[in-house]
Chain A
Amino acid sequence: MADRFAAGARVRTVHHDPTHHTRLPRYARGKRGVVIEPEGRHPLADVSAQGRGDAPVEQVYAVRFAARELWGEGEHGVVLDLWESHLEPEGD
């Protein structure tokens, strides 16, 4: 399966709030970032952490966020590893 996002792609994280474990931290939900690079395919931890054996294997991406986007202030950047399920193309 081809990767959904290439390096440089502008993405937005989904705005979910599941009752179970998720690898998308609360501080980075519904935020805009830029894909740095794909990091390799892994079972989606949000599903496998529930003890289920049917976790989809997805590409994990390093995504860079500006501090201002995350916190409304700050000049630094934050890079997170996020699964394809956590990301949408920006503007969708």
Chain B
Amino acid sequence: MSGTHADALISRQVRGLEALLEERGVVAGAALDEALDAFLAGSSPLNGARVVARAWTDPEFKERLLADGTSAVAELGYAAGGVQPQRLRVVENTAHTHNVIVCTLCSCYPVRLLGPSPSWYKSEAYRSRVVREPRAVLAEFGFAVPLDTEITVWDSSAETRYMVLPRRPSGTESLPERALTDLITRNALIGTAPQ
């Protein structure tokens, strides 16, 4: 917890709302915590990594994933979305294109597949700068995108969530799907790292 004034205010408001819902019998005391715990327990960047490793090893799955991310990840047991249905769109990096994800208006993010979002993803600096100077921002992450690679920034919304399909590293042709998942980081799924 950052303990900033803004966070404290939001926490108080959320607690107030929770108390009201309980008082009026809309939710039972522990139901909200149980629902949140269940949602977060099923949310991890390992889920996104498994999706990517499957796409790297199964060309037909990859084709379905890029055509309709929502139903392709459902094949692996991952439902996109929380309180409302959300569309998942997976964007593929290639030899000459790189994708990176942001939400400039708030902090929309595919929690189920990537786990809770990192604090920098919600920071004003990342949100305002990556749409304007993505190459410079990625360089600050230690990721020098080749100059002949075209960068696309995807500004997320509550209706569609995005996940990056990174390029499979060379020299991994003999690795099985399970070993490939270990190579894939959360930042690669956001687009701020190559893998």
Residues of A within 8 A of B (CB): 23, 25, 27, 39-40, 42, 45, 60, 62, 64, 67, 70-71, 74-81
Contact = CB atoms under 8 A, between A and B. Distances in A.
A77 B151 contact: yes
A39 B87 contact: yes
Given A25-B155, A70-B131, A76-B134, 18 more contacts: A23-B157, A25-B104, A27-B104, A27-B132, A39-B159, A60-B157, A60-B160, A62-B160, A67-B132, A75-B151, A76-B135, A76-B153, A77-B151, A78-B152, A78-B154, A79-B152, A80-B155, A81-B157
Nearest to A82: B157
A67 B152 CA distance: 9
Contacts of A60: 157, 159-160
Contacts of B154: 78-79
B182 interface: no
18 contacts: A23-B157, A25-B105, A40-B159, A60-B159, A62-B160, A64-B152, A71-B132, A75-B150, A76-B151, A76-B152, A77-B150, A77-B152, A78-B131, A78-B152, A79-B154, A81-B155, A81-B156, A81-B157
Contacts of A80: 155, 157
Nearest to A40: B87
Closest 6 CB pairs of A and B: A76-B151, A81-B157, A77-B152, A80-B155, A78-B153, A79-B154
Interface of B: 87, 89, 104-105, 131-135, 150-160
Contacts of A40: 87, 159-160
A7 B153 CA distance: 19
Nearest to B102: A78
A78 B101 CA distance: 10
A23 B105 contact: yes
A78 B151 CA distance: 9
Contacts of B150: 75-77
Contacts of B133: 74
B81 to A, nearest CB: 12
